[in-house]
Every structure is written in C-alpha cells, then in structure tokens.
Amino acid sequence: MKIVLKENVPGVGEMNEVCDVAVGYARNYLFPRGLAVPATKAAVLKAKKFAERRKLRRAKSRTRAELVAQALQGKIFTFRVKAGETGRLYGSITSQDVTEAIEKVLGVDFDKRQVVMEQPLRELGEQDIELKLGEGVSAQVRVVIKAEE
C-alpha cells in the first residue's frame, strides 16, 4: 500500500516521503497514530512540494555554513587566563567562551552546540577545536591559552 508519511518513522522513511508498506501495518499502526495518510494525488503533490522546499532550505543552509567555514578558516583565538605554576588553569575555557570569541569575529550569533569539545580546556597551550556548522560542513579553529601576566 502506498502512503505519505506525516512524521519521520524509523525503518520506514522521513516526513512527506511516499512509501510502500504492508496494508495491515498502515491500517493498524501508521494511520491510527497519525503517522501517515493514504497516498492520494493531493497528498503526493503536497509531499513533492514540501520536498522541493526542504531541498532549497538545505541548499541555503549549506551555503551559509560554507561561508562561515571560509570566514573561520585559519583563525586563531587567544585566551589570557589565570593559571597555576604547573600550567593548570584556575578556571576553564568552555564551548561558551569559544562561541563568544567566534561571535566577535563574525559579528553574528553563533550556536554553542556547534562547538565540539569533549571537555572544557583546563591547561595552557594550543588546541584545535572542531566546529560542526550543519549540513555536513565542518571547520577547525585553533585555540591558544596563555597565562595572564
């Protein structure tokens, strides 16, 4: 049976995708839960229009992400912080600190969830930080942490 999904269904497909599923699965599971509708001409046409709009949005988003990646290419962010004699920081450099530094350079808002850091930085030195900018685009920036004098 051909159906149009109203939501993402794992193992079946994504929202507004036309899929072929068993009649019982559609009638007993997908339709009662509002996850799908029968694939009428109107529903298929609506799904195609939605897919085209989604494709355009993703292309624009990818273009924006690539522009941000180019703007951040080779950038070095230096932080001056208090540190002990062993090189251990009294505080830490978090993804929020890196985000604020990036926002100053770009002049636009930047989401801290795009900064990939397993842990906050707690020692002096240099470290490369990965940025996931969306739509498969990523970039790297270098963070240099120096002791305050």
Q: Give the domain CATH number at 31.
A: 3.40.5.10
Residues 55 and 73 in one domain: no
Which DSSP letter does residue 124 get?
A: S
Tokens of 107: 């002049």
Q: Burial code of 116-131, b = ≥16 C-beta within 10 A, e = fewer?
A: ebeeebeebeeeebeb
pLDDT in tens, 22-75: 999 999 999 999 999 999 999 999 999 998 998 999 999 999 999 999 999 889
Q: 143 phi and psi, to 5 degrees?
A: -110, 125
pLDDT in tens, 62-111: 999 999 999 998 899 999 999 998 989 999 999 999 999 999 988 888 99
Q: One-letter amino acid identity for 121?
A: L
pLDDT band at 21 (very low <50, low <70, confident <90, very high): very high
pLDDT score for 114? 94
**3-state secondary structure (DSSP) of residue 20:** strand
Contact of 17 with 3, CB cutoff 8 Å: no
Residues 75 and 28 in one domain: no
Residues 76 and 111 in one domain: yes
User: What length is written for the chain?
Assistant: 149
Provide the residue range defining the domain that includes 32: 2-59
CATH of the domain at 120: 3.10.430.100
Residues 79 and 142 in one domain: yes
**3-state secondary structure (DSSP) of residue 36:** strand
Contact of 114 with 78, CB cutoff 8 Å: no
- Based on its alpha-carbon atoms, the radius of gyration of the chain, rounded to whole angstroms, reads 23
Find the mean pLDDT for residues 144-148. 93
Structural domain ending residue among the three candidates 59, 79, 100: 59
Residues 76 and 47 in one domain: no
Residues 74 and 43 in one domain: no
pTM, entire model: 0.72
Residues 39 and 72 in one domain: no
Residues 34 and 84 in one domain: no
Residues 47 and 82 in one domain: no
pLDDT score for 149? 77
